[in-house]
Structure 1
Amino acid sequence: MMFTNPEVILVEAYVHGYSETEAGRLQDQASTLVELLHPSVSFPAGSRILEPGCGVGAQTLYLAGKNPASRITAFDISPDSVRRAREKVARAGLSNVAVEVADIFNLPYGAGTFDHLFVCFLLEHLQDPAAALLRLKDMLRENGSVSVIEGDHGSYYCHPRSERADLVVRCLVEVQARKRGNSLIGRELYPLLDRAGFREVQVSPRMVYVDRTRPQLVEGFTRKTFIAMIEGVREEALSLELTDEETWDGGIADLYRTTREDGTFCYTFFTAVAFK
């Protein structure tokens, strides 16, 4: 998959795929992490908000729910993802959201059209996130703001510690890198936004810590979000000979081991806010 722009900026294919399983994982992720990731994305009434790379609309629903008096334009390059996002918006009865097919390098909006940008789990999938931020910045009015949320797979750790578990996580990092994405991008948000010319860049870590006292996170994050994401690249990791079947299966088993009563799991997201 490529943008219409002659520069190839998007990864060749979304690393996690477009299956129903992946759509469900994205919704589980959004539902589980909404309180952690969305408290800073409330905007003044009447705001015009642009959400690029909205995917199946998992984050769009929460963005719209927190900003009922704002107008949200969400877009994605995948027509199938846009169809699913529109279905979600319709089922939720949201009248303040428009979901469109578009690409970052050929946007149908005028410069300065929007008051705010909401960029969530997008930059890690782009070959040139800095160029994408520059294009998106053009869509903002003067003094408009941008909110960016990204993960960083290098921040993961667990108990019991497992070299096999570490290996399968590194397999996802490598698979995404070979698609010219970057699953370690959370740590780079400050320099990316700074180089793009945004002002007053502030980055905050948002840690997800999981043990048996947080059963919703055990199920919703460790199992259905993180481990499911790793499992999704199994065939690619094996075909690239990044590991063998026995080691892969053992690593996945060790990740599931962290969801038992004496296990713990930790991961850090990064949120950034800046101004044009």
Structure 2
Amino acid sequence: MGTDYVHGYTPAETRRLSDQARTLADLLHGGTQYEPGSKVLEAGCGVGAQTVQLVTRSPGIELTAVDIAEDSLAAAKARVAAEAPDARVEWHHGDLLNLPWPDGSFDHLFICFVLEHLPDPVQVLRTLCRLVRPGGSITVIEGDHGSAFFHPRSEAAQAVIECLNVLQAEAGGDALIGRRLQPLLTEAGIREVTARPCTVYADETLPHLVDGFTRKTFIAMVESVRGKSLATGMRTQAEWEQGIRDLERAAEPGGTFHYAFFKAVGFR
């Protein structure tokens, strides 16, 4: 199962993922803690930004981290070695639809910012959930770009965000997947699914969120598709620059920014 990662595998994207993980650690990982000795599968670990959170917040777990991109997996290994050297992590390069472990091998499954990039997330969920023992938990976190609203309002800024949404759809993903996590997990056969929004709001009284999220996470994410948006004629250079300038006003004094992630938890 190949993926076309719309943001690209670049040093800038690695920095963005790291900034996002640090800034949103408590928001996204609050309430997620696994017992020492439990076997946890992280499906789609990327560059390890969330992996570090998992192993430091649940010390003593036996984590297996999987990704299809070899360069990302190498970056994840280096990150965990530097930031959580005592963690017990098994690394696996492979396709989420063709993993080598028998059914029921893990106590818990954790998936973060992965399903949004996949053409058939229900199939992937069904396949991965078989690897979890009966009664084990499944935790899924995704964003929803349709939840982004900001002040001052700008049609030009909204247009560059829509470029990202369209390009992600063309790559087989869904930038609005957060709002449908509960029905997705239920369709995949996961039991007792509960979902909730994890809202980020930033204004000048919250400078760490303005910098860590509005600028370094969201605007940086939109900027990651600049090249494709211009190359495909979705925006002209002038239109793109205007949209980004307007979006950056939300990170200036007097500006505000809102975004919602969604977190769903269920059981095998």
Query: TM-score surpassing 0.5?
Result: yes
For residue 76 of structure 1, what is the amino acid of its counterpart?
A: D
Aligned-partner Cα distance in 2 for 1:95–1:267: 32
**1:64–1:94: 8 Å Cα contact kept in structure 2?**
no
Could you tell me which residue of structure 2 aligns to residue 68 of structure 1?
A: 59
Deviation per CA, 1:145-199: give whole Å up to 9, x if none. Answer: 1000000000000000000011000000001011011110001101110011111
Other-structure match for 2:41? 50
Deviation string, structure 1 residues 182-239 (Cα, Å, up to 9, x no partner) = 1100011011100111111000001000000100011000000000000010111112
Q: Aligned letter for 2:193?
A: V
Residue 156 of structure 1 is matched in structure 2 by 148
Question: What letter is aligned with 1:41?
Answer: T
Equivalent-residue separation in structure 1 for 2:209 and 2:43 (angstroms): 27
The 4+ residue runs of structure 1 with deviation greater than 4 A are none
Instruction: Determine the C-alpha separation between the residues in 2 that align with 1:85 and 1:100.
Output: 11
> What one-letter code is carried by the residue in structure 2 that aligns with 1:243?
R
2:245 partner amino acid: A
Letter in 1 for 2:6: V
- 1:99 CA drift (Å): 2.0
**Residues 125, 181 of structure 1: 8 Å contact kept:** yes
Match of 1:125 among 102, 117, 123: 117
Q: Give the corresponding residue for 1:36.
A: 27
- Say if 2:232 is the partner of 1:235: no
Q: What SS does structure 2 have at the residue aligned with 1:216?
A: helix
Question: Structure 1 length as normaliser, TM-score?
Answer: 0.95
2:12 maps to 21
Residue 199 of structure 1 aligns with which residue?
A: 191
Unaligned runs of 5+ in 1: 4-9
- Partner Cα distance (2:129, 2:191) in 1: 11
Counterpart of 1:138 (choices 110, 130, 133) is 130
Partner of 2:162, secondary structure, is helix
- Alignment partner of 1:212 is 2:204: yes
Mapped to 2, the partners of 1:143 and 1:247 lie a distance apart of 51
Could you tell me how far apart the structure 2 residues matched to 1:95 and 1:155 are? 35
The answer to whether 1:97 aligns with 2:105 is no
Cα deviation, residue 94, structure 1: 3.1
The superposition leaves residues 232-259 of structure 1 with CA deviations (integer Å, 9 ceiling, x where unpaired) of: 1011111222121111110000011111
Partner-residue secondary structure (3-state), 1:156: strand
Query: Match of 2:63, SS?
Result: strand
Aligned partners of 1:37, 1:65: CA distance in 2, in Å?
Answer: 14
Deviations 1:113-170 (A, max 9, x none): 0010000000001011010000001100001110000000000000000000110000
* AA at the equivalent of 1:45: P
Residue identity matched to 1:205: P
User: Which of residues 236, 241, 253 is equivalent to 1:249?
Assistant: 241
Normalised by the length of structure 2, the TM-score is 0.98
Does residue 1:112 correspond to 2:100, yes or no? no
Q: Is the 8 A contact 1:85 1:99 kept in 2?
A: no
**Two-structure CA RMSD over aligned residues (Å):** 0.8
Q: How far apart, in 1, do the equivalents of 2:146 and 2:222 lie?
A: 13
Contact 2:60–2:87 at 8 Å: present in 1 too?
no
SS at match of 2:251: coil
User: How many percent of aligned residue pairs carry the same amino acid?
Assistant: 50
Kept in 2, the 8 Å contact 1:57–1:84? The answer is: yes
Aligned residues of 2:194 and 2:266 also touching (Cα < 8 A): yes
> How far off its partner does 1:95 sit?
2.8
- Paired amino acid for 1:173: N
Quick one: which amino acid aligns to residue 115 of structure 2? L
Report what 1:6 is aligned to.
none
Give the total of aligned pairs: 267
Report the Cα distance in structure 1 between the residues aligned to 2:21 and 2:227, rounded to whole angstroms: 25
Structure-1 residue corresponding to 2:69: 78
- Residues 67-100 of structure 1: CA deviation (Å, up to 9, x unaligned): 1121110110001111000111111213322222
Looking at structure 2, the residues matched to 195 and 95 of structure 1 have their Cα atoms a distance apart, in angstroms, of 34
Deviation at residue 261 of structure 1 after TM alignment: 0.9
